[in-house]
């Protein structure tokens, strides 16, 4: 049996490097897909731990950038993120393998739940278990929020952009696409200001 398959089944660490094989990428994202309760937020935490803390092949800033790209594109955020990270690790084939891997587990589980839904929906034990799952997901989401916040406000003016964007979305119900475009323009202006002030590298680092 393939040693990486044995590592996956036993829960041992699977070593990932830049330009990793498609098979390795698929296995890691298959595992991530099976534990992504809470959606894309949980996925951020899993990717952070796997590729930043354990493997060291990505940085926190890269994960933040990939997540921002994934949220800005149409489609399912978790699949967008898998495609981007997989592409960074193994090219186009790696991106497709990551997307397939992260989608396979939930598809199988949801197919089973859908098939058994009528029998399970009124089961008190299942309802109690889901209450526990929802409670355990909340800290994971908060952890993901902390990861995003650490990399989102690199320059002081970015804090004002964040507050302004929140006000537009929450109080004035401005669409997310327009807010993203406004944020992009603000980012260009802030970057240009700092580039003129102290060097272009400092402005975009």
pLDDT (tens, 9 = 90+) of the chain, 205 residues, equals: 444 444 444 444 444 445 678 999 999 999 998 877 666 677 888 898 899 888 888 888 888 888 888 877 888 888 999 999 999 998 889 999 999 999 998 888 888 878 876 777 677 887 777 778 777 777 777 776 776 776 677 788 989 999 999 999 999 999 888 998 898 899 899 988 888 887 544 555 5
The structural domains of the chain, with segments of one domain joined by +, span 3-152, 153-205
H or E, element range at 57: none
pTM for this structure? 0.68
What are phi and psi for residue 199, nearest 5 degrees?
115, 135
CB neighbourhood size of 96 (10 A): 18
Helical spans, DSSP H, in 14-74 = 22-34, 40-47, 60-72
């Amino acid at each position: 049996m393939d040693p990486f398959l044995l590592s996956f089944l036993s829960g041992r660490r699977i070593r990932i490097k830049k330009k990793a094989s498609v098979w390795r990428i698929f296995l890691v994202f298959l595992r991530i897909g099976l534990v992504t309760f809470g959606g894309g937020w949980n996925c951020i935490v899993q990717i952070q731990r796997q590729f930043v803390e354990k493997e060291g092949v990505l940085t926190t800033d890269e994960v933040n950038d990939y997540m921002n790209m994934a949220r800005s594109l149409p489609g399912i955020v978790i699949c967008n993120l898998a495609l981007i990270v997989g592409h960074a690790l193994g090219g186009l084939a790696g991106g497709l393998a990551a997307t397939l891997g992260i989608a396979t587990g939930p598809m199988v589980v949801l197919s089973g739940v859908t098939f058994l839904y009528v029998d399970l929906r009124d089961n008190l034990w299942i309802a109690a278990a889901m209450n526990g799952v929802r409670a355990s997901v909340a800290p994971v989401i908060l952890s993901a929020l902390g990861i995003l916040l650490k990399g989102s406000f690199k320059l002081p003016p970015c804090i004002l952009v964040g507050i302004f964007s929140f006000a537009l979305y929450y109080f004035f119900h401005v669409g997310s696409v327009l807010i993203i475009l406004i944020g992009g323009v603000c980012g260009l202006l802030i970057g240009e200001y700092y580039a003129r002030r102290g060097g272009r590298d400092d402005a975009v680092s």
